Amino acid sequence: MTGRSYLSLLSLAPDSTVTAPSGGTVAMTVDGAQTPVEPGRTYTGSITPTPA
């Protein structure tokens, strides 16, 4: 992930990894609330993942 994204659905496989450039982390909000990015989960609503 290289920049902020705007999604309404995000489904992550159980063995998935979401990273930012250079091995950085990704911060995410769902409907305005800070939410951890967890493998095997499906998120719905106003989703905004951002490289941190």
pLDDT for residue 19: 87
Contact 18, 38 (CB under 8 A): no
Tell me, what's the pLDDT at 25? 86
Residue showing tokens 């990273």:
19
Q: pLDDT by residue (tens digit) across 1-41?
A: 678 889 999 999 999 988 888 878 899 999 999 999 999 99
- The number of CA neighbours under 13 Å toward the Cβ of 48 is 8
Say what the pLDDT of residue 31 is: 97
- In the prediction, which pLDDT does 23 show? 77
The amino acid sitting at 37 is V
